Structure 1
Amino acid sequence: MLSTLARTATRRPLTVITLWVLFLLLGFGLGTGVFGRLSDNVPEVPGTESEAAAEYLDRVDPSGDSITAVVEGTAVTDPALRTQVEQAVADVRKIAGVAAVPDPYTTPGLTAEDGRALLVPVALKGGLDDDAEERTVNDAADRIREIDAPEVHVSGGPLLGLQIGERAQEDVRNAELISLPVVLALLLVVFGGLRTAALPLVIAVSGIAGAFLALFLFSSVTDISVYAIQVTTMLGLGLAVDYALLMLVRFREERRTTEDVVEAVHRTVAAAGRTVLFSGLTVAVSLTGLLVFPSVFLRSMGLAVAAVVVVDMLAAVTLLPALLARFGRKIPPAKDRPENEEGRVFARLARFSARNRVAVLAVIVPALLVLTLPVTGMRINIGDARQLPSSTEARQLYDTVDAHFPPGTGVSTVTVVLKPGADAGTADRIRALSPRAESRDLPNGTTVVELPPSGSMDGDAATDLVKQVRELRGDAPVEVTGPAARLVDFRAMLADRAPWAALTVLAGIFVLLFAFTGSVLIPLRTIATTLLSLGAALGAVVWVFQDGHLAGLLGAEGLGALSLTAPPLIIAIAFGLAMDYELFILARMREARRVTGDDREAVVTGLRRSGRVVTCAALLLAVVFGAFMTGGFSPILQIGLGLTLAVLIDATVVRMLLVPATMALLGRRAWWAPKPLRRLHDRFGLREEASAAPKVPTSV
């Protein structure tokens, strides 16, 4: 397959380039429409009680959603301000789609006790379609913002999703503006020429276009989370640069041995292209674990990120060869340096680790386990507006309400749905769980009881209320929904499906690594060392964002829990990225082993040849992830920091020290497989072809 792709790309390079240009136009044209389709309903899990109750309410409850405004900064009793507020309330009530707007001056609880702020809740009519609801929300918000006060903020309900979507689009644009020039500068240092350095960015832009287009297509059949934009774009950009870097390094090596550019491209695709293919497959397999979960968010993220990985992989093995066939004559070959100068730092590290393998393992493994310890106390929550940057309107509204109103004001309640047939005694016992409980009867005989929690909407008090109601109801037709109930169900879903997700991923990775190496011990060793780096990175994320250590340096704060989006995405993506670097190194080790037959020297030569590529790739990925962390959105900060640390720890401590130490400890047994599996691999296994490169080719 790879040889066919290489021949096609070199015979008709302009055709291949034209097709990719059309793809880019489609991605940046049609694909960017996804920004208007983003959802913030992350914790929804189809089939759970909380989701069933919410769907039931949507069918039988005539009331609609709501938004909230806060006016602050001056005495709310000021006659001029009161006149403006009352006029705005009157005007908003006339907007089509608005059900009710209470008078903030006469309704208890809407005016702050200090007299410096007031709330204006706007209830929408039920049954509005998406376009009508958006028009109503925008018209109401625009009219309220016309009030002449120092601070007027409007958010909540459907408006919150729109604001987060706009912020996501802005963050992606800013991250690209930051990361692309820095990546180009680093590539200039690596390659020493603008023409060569620009090619990875071309592949990176293809990855971004693929991210937008994949998300847009998936948004037609399922909800796409607001987090998907940053995550898929950062991964698409980073992996594209990684793959292009690996291919270009190999192409420059092959150019030293042949004047024929087309032949050099074919050799590059046959060797490095095969590594890219396996790398893309391993990342995609790592993400299949997300498909095991029934959560729409996790499944859509798994599919979208896997699609982006495939786009990056295809761009690396089709578009890049076409560009090299067309312009590769102007790319200079790698410098021919003496053998003892080639990757000597990495060779020394490999020899040091191999000679002192027991000491290296005795120091590094416990250190990584210590870094993993915070994971044992990890908590996940839905989170509130504190996750957003202070410049966002939703966060400003939250801070204003928190400063002027009693604790619990505006906090989403635990919603209990008592269907027809539930007795009055059950309703009374449920209302008794909260002194501020409120209830209302629906036309079909359903009773809805709202239980305000004493803390945050997803804190311990709220989740305890959910559990109490579920224990209290017995066999009565009673269901619980709301953010706290969804969190309880989401946690239960993770606990139930996580073992199956892990088994799926580990089995897939084992099969792919066996197909690549022909060994059963190397996949096991790879999985073990990767779990160490992943645990250390996740432990650091818990220590920073849950416990609050050094969080201020990243523009965040300790929230007492991680976003429920962060751990599964960090684990799935970081595991796949770690396989990237493992395959880069193993490919060179196998190649050297076939040439020399010396197992220990093959480890040294493998690191000598791949060390600089792995280090540069990790640095470039860290730059990309770091750029996306400038947005200040806490879940993205958590994911960005987790992936950055996982990549850096894996590419340095694990791949440069643990890999040679463990390979030396295993010795020739590292490449062992039972005879039946060996015959299976000899027949069906995919592997890199030996190239005509010199015995010890350069890295860059």
Structure 2
Amino acid sequence: MLSALARAATRRPLTVMLLWGLFLLLGFGLGTGVFARLSDNVPEVPGSESESAAQYLDRVGPVGESVTGVVAGTAVSDAKLRAEVGRAVADVRRVTGVAAVPDPYTTRGLTSKDGRALIIPVTLEGGLDDDAEEHALDAAAERIREIDAPDVHVSGGPLLGQQLGERAQEDVKNAELISLPVVLALLLVVFGGLRSALLPLVVAVGGIAGAFLALFLFSEVTDISVYAIQVTTMLGLGLAVDYALLMLVRFREERRHTEDVVEAVHRTVAAAGRTVLFSGLTVAVSLTGLLVFPSVFLRSMGLAVAAVVVIDMLAALTLLPALLARFGGRITPAKNRPEGEEGRVFARIARFADRRRIAVLAVAVPVLLVLALPVTGMRIALGDARQLPSDTEARRLHDTVGDHFPPGTGVTPITVVVRPGADGATADGLRALSPATTVRELPGGATVLEIRPPGEADGEEATELVDRVREARGGEPVEVTGPAARLVDFREMLAERAPWAALTVLVGIFVLLFAFTGSVLLPLRTVTTTLLSLGAALGAVVWVFQDGHLAGLLGAEGLGALSLTAPPLIIAIAFGLAMDYELFILARMREARQRTSDDAQAVVDGLRSSGRVVTCAALLLAVVFAAFMTGGFSPILQIGLGLTLAVLIDATVVRMLLVPATMSLLGRRAWWAPAPLRKAHDRFGLHEEPAETARPRVPTGV
């Protein structure tokens, strides 16, 4: 298969490049339309109680979307301002599709006690189509913003999702402007030439175009989260550079053994291409665990990111060979160095880990476990506008309300739907749970209780109140919805499906690693060491963003919980990336073992050959992830920090120390498999290798 791909790419390189050029035009033309389709409805869980109650309310007593305007920074009792606010309220009420706009001066709670802020809530009619709703929202928001006051902000509801989408687009653009020049500079250092350095960026651009196009296509059939843009772009850019780096390093090595550029490309695809293929499949399989969850957000993210990984893999196996066949003759081959000179630092590390394997394990494992300890206290929440940078309109509105109004102002209530047929005493008992309860009747005999929780809409008090309502209702037809209820249902969904997701991923990883290595112990060792680096990275994210330690250095603050989007995405993506570097190293160890039949020397030679690639790839990927931490959006900061640390810890402590130490400890047993499985691997495993017999033995370091 790989040989066929290599022959096709080198036989018609201009055709391959033209096809990828058309793909780029589609990605950056059609694909960027996804920015207008982003959704912030992350916590919805199909089939959950909160979703069922919300759908019932939409059918029986639909309530339109709402947005909030805040006017502050001056005395709101000023006659001129009061008259202007009155005219604005009257104008907004006349907007087609607007259902209600209370007078902030006569409605209790809408004017601050200090007299320097007021709130203008706008509620739309229920059942509006998308175009009518968008027109009403834009018209209402624009009219409120025309009020002449020092601070006027409008957000909430669909406007919040729109503002998040705009911020996502801006952050992606800024991250690319930061990361691409840095990546190019590092590639120049690695390769020492502009041609070699530019090729990974060409592949990376293909990965970004693929990210946009994949997201756009998925948006035709499902909601796409505002977080998807940053996550898929950072991963698409990073993996493309990783794969291209691995292929280019191998190509420069092959050029030392043959003057024929096409032959060197074929050898490269047969050797490094095999690693890229398995790496891409492994990362994609790691993300299939997200498909086990019923959450539309997690499923769409899993599909989109897996698609981007496959696109990167295909670009490395088709576009890059075509570029090398066309321009590879101008790339300087890797220098021949004396025996023992290439990769000697990594060879020394491997020998140190071999000699001190027990000490390495005794130090590294406890350190990683200590770093992972904060995970035991991890909490997740929906989050609020505090997750946004301070210069965004939604954050300014939130801060203004917090500065001038009592805690809980504007907090979305817990909505309790008492369906027809419920015992009247049940509704009375639920009403007694909180004095901050309002009641409204729906057509058909249903009753809605809106209980305003203390603190935040998704805080501990709110979620505990949801649990109390569900416990107090007994067997009556009563359902709870609202942000707090959605969070409770999301947490329950994660707890219920996480074991199945983990099982799905582990089985897939085991099968792929067994097909790659022919061993049953190596997949187990790989998963174990990977979990250590993943736990340490996630523990650091909890320590920073949940507990607030050093969060200010990243332009964030401790929020008491992580965004519910961050942990599942960090775990899925970081696990897949760790497999990346494991395969880079195992491929070279396997080659060395087949060449020398010496297990101990194979570990040293494998790390000697792959150490520089893994280190450079990790550094480049860390640069990409770190660039996305410049936007200031807390969930992306959390994901960026988690992935940056996971990559760096995995590529250094785990792959450079724990891997050679554990390989040395296992010895020949590392490559063991039961006889039936060994026969299955001999028959079905991928054995496509470069021709080695025609070349003299030369050190294969990079």
What is the TM-score with the length of structure 2 in the denominator?
0.99
In structure 2, give the amino acid aligned to 1:695: R
Structure 2 residue 538 is the aligned partner of structure 1 residue 531: no
Aligned to 2:321: 321
1:265-291 deviation line (CA, Å, top 9, x unaligned): 000000000100000000001001111
Aligned equivalents of 2:364, 2:371: Cα separation in 1: 11
Aligned to 2:611: 611
Say which is worse superposed, 685-694 or 272-281, in terms of deviation.
Answer: 685-694
Structure 2 residue 567 is the aligned partner of structure 1 residue 548: no
Aligned equivalents of 2:135, 2:325: Cα separation in 1: 52
Q: From the superposition, tell whether residues 678 and 451 of structure 1 become closer, same or farther in structure 2 (CA, over 3 Å).
A: same
Aligned equivalents of 2:385, 2:688: Cα separation in 1: 50
Aligned equivalents of 1:192, 1:321: Cα separation in 2: 20
Structure 2 residue 192 is the aligned partner of structure 1 residue 187: no
Residue aligned with 2:71, SS = strand
Aligned equivalents of 1:679, 1:628: Cα separation in 2: 46
CA apart distance, 1:135: 1.1
Aligned to 2:118: 118
CA apart distance, 1:58: 1.1
In structure 1, give the amino acid aligned to 2:636: I
Aligned to 1:660: 660
CA apart distance, 1:694: 5.0
Aligned equivalents of 1:121, 1:691: Cα separation in 2: 72
Residue aligned with 1:435, SS = coil
**Residues 270 and 688 in structure 2, CA contact (< 8 A), matched pair in contact too:** yes
Aligned equivalents of 2:690, 2:322: Cα separation in 1: 22
Aligned to 1:198: 198
1:320-365 deviation line (CA, Å, top 9, x unaligned): 0001111111111011111221011100000000011111111111
**Residues 249 and 699 in structure 1, CA contact (< 8 A), matched pair in contact too:** no
In structure 2, give the amino acid aligned to 1:320: L
**Residues 411 and 452 in structure 1, CA contact (< 8 A), matched pair in contact too:** yes
Aligned to 2:517: 517
CA apart distance, 1:695: 2.8
In structure 1, give the amino acid aligned to 2:10: T
Stretches of structure 1 lacking an aligned partner (at least 5 in a row) = none
CA apart distance, 1:83: 1.2
**Residues 45 and 296 in structure 2, CA contact (< 8 A), matched pair in contact too:** yes
Please list, as runs of the form range in 1=range in 2, the aligned pairs for 1:179-328 lying within 5 A after superposition.
Answer: 179-328=179-328
CA apart distance, 1:425: 2.1
In structure 2, give the amino acid aligned to 1:448: V
Aligned to 2:375: 375
Aligned equivalents of 2:162, 2:135: Cα separation in 1: 12
Residue aligned with 2:65, SS = strand
Aligned to 2:450: 450
Aligned equivalents of 1:113, 1:635: Cα separation in 2: 34
Residue aligned with 1:560, SS = coil
CA apart distance, 1:84: 1.0
Say which is worse superposed, 459-468 or 230-239, in terms of deviation.
Answer: 459-468
**Residues 335 and 698 in structure 1, CA contact (< 8 A), matched pair in contact too:** no
Aligned to 2:101: 101
Aligned equivalents of 2:81, 2:173: Cα separation in 1: 38
1:241-285 deviation line (CA, Å, top 9, x unaligned): 000000000001111111111100000000000100000000001
**Residues 545 and 638 in structure 1, CA contact (< 8 A), matched pair in contact too:** yes
**Residues 271 and 691 in structure 1, CA contact (< 8 A), matched pair in contact too:** no
Aligned equivalents of 1:413, 1:384: Cα separation in 2: 14
1:388-425 deviation line (CA, Å, top 9, x unaligned): 11111111100000010010000111001111222332
Aligned to 2:390: 390
Structure 2 residue 82 is the aligned partner of structure 1 residue 82: yes
**Residues 145 and 152 in structure 2, CA contact (< 8 A), matched pair in contact too:** yes
**Residues 340 and 699 in structure 2, CA contact (< 8 A), matched pair in contact too:** no
Aligned equivalents of 1:132, 1:246: Cα separation in 2: 52
Aligned equivalents of 2:79, 2:701: Cα separation in 1: 75
**Residues 587 and 688 in structure 1, CA contact (< 8 A), matched pair in contact too:** no
1:565-588 deviation line (CA, Å, top 9, x unaligned): 111111110000000000000000
Structure 2 residue 143 is the aligned partner of structure 1 residue 143: yes
Please list, as runs of the form range in 1=range in 2, the aligned pairs for 1:421-460 lying within 5 A after superposition.
Answer: 421-460=421-460
Aligned to 1:169: 169
Aligned equivalents of 1:623, 1:68: Cα separation in 2: 39
CA apart distance, 1:475: 2.1
Please list, as runs of the form range in 1=range in 2, the aligned pairs for 1:463-502 lying within 5 A after superposition.
Answer: 463-502=463-502
Aligned to 2:127: 127
Aligned to 1:564: 564
Percentage identity across paired residues of the two chains: 82
Say which is worse superposed, 526-535 or 59-68, in terms of deviation.
Answer: 59-68
Structure 2 residue 44 is the aligned partner of structure 1 residue 44: yes
CA apart distance, 1:439: 1.3
Q: From the superposition, tell whether residues 595 and 444 of structure 1 become closer, same or farther in structure 2 (CA, over 3 Å).
A: same
**Residues 336 and 698 in structure 1, CA contact (< 8 A), matched pair in contact too:** no
Q: From the superposition, tell whether residues 497 and 123 of structure 1 become closer, same or farther in structure 2 (CA, over 3 Å).
A: same
Please list, as runs of the form range in 1=range in 2, the aligned pairs for 1:402-421 lying within 5 A after superposition.
Answer: 402-421=402-421
Aligned equivalents of 1:695, 1:371: Cα separation in 2: 43
Say which is worse superposed, 625-634 or 680-689, in terms of deviation.
Answer: 680-689
Aligned to 1:12: 12
Aligned equivalents of 2:221, 2:165: Cα separation in 1: 19
In structure 2, give the amino acid aligned to 1:294: P
1:422-481 deviation line (CA, Å, top 9, x unaligned): 233222211111111111112232211110001111111111111111111122211100
CA apart distance, 1:698: 4.4
In structure 2, give the amino acid aligned to 1:146: E
1:62-102 deviation line (CA, Å, top 9, x unaligned): 42110000001000011111111111111111111111100
In structure 2, give the amino acid aligned to 1:176: E
Aligned equivalents of 1:62, 1:603: Cα separation in 2: 65
Aligned to 2:697: 695
1:131-176 deviation line (CA, Å, top 9, x unaligned): 1111111111011001110000000011110000000000001101
In structure 2, give the amino acid aligned to 1:50: S
Aligned to 2:333: 333
**Residues 545 and 560 in structure 1, CA contact (< 8 A), matched pair in contact too:** yes
Aligned to 1:72: 72
Aligned equivalents of 1:696, 1:184: Cα separation in 2: 30
In structure 2, give the amino acid aligned to 1:84: E
Residue aligned with 1:497, SS = helix
Aligned equivalents of 1:296, 1:359: Cα separation in 2: 46
Residue aligned with 2:105, SS = coil
**Residues 241 and 620 in structure 1, CA contact (< 8 A), matched pair in contact too:** yes
Q: Report the number of matched residues.
A: 700
CA apart distance, 1:686: 1.1
Aligned equivalents of 2:164, 2:339: Cα separation in 1: 54
CA apart distance, 1:302: 0.4
Aligned equivalents of 1:373, 1:80: Cα separation in 2: 58
Residue aligned with 2:68, SS = strand
Residue aligned with 1:340, SS = coil
Aligned equivalents of 1:117, 1:51: Cα separation in 2: 35
Cα root mean square deviation, aligned: 0.9
Aligned to 1:620: 620
In structure 2, give the amino acid aligned to 1:256: R
**Residues 67 and 159 in structure 1, CA contact (< 8 A), matched pair in contact too:** yes
In structure 2, give the amino acid aligned to 1:649: I
Aligned equivalents of 1:424, 1:136: Cα separation in 2: 39
Aligned equivalents of 1:431, 1:213: Cα separation in 2: 50
Say which is worse superposed, 421-430 or 312-321, in terms of deviation.
Answer: 421-430
Aligned to 2:682: 682
**Residues 253 and 697 in structure 1, CA contact (< 8 A), matched pair in contact too:** no
Q: From the superposition, tell whether residues 353 and 696 of structure 1 become closer, same or farther in structure 2 (CA, over 3 Å).
A: farther
**Residues 274 and 687 in structure 1, CA contact (< 8 A), matched pair in contact too:** no
Aligned equivalents of 2:614, 2:345: Cα separation in 1: 13
Aligned equivalents of 1:205, 1:35: Cα separation in 2: 18
Aligned equivalents of 2:256, 2:462: Cα separation in 1: 67
CA apart distance, 1:691: 4.2
In structure 2, give the amino acid aligned to 1:162: Q
Residue aligned with 1:339, SS = coil
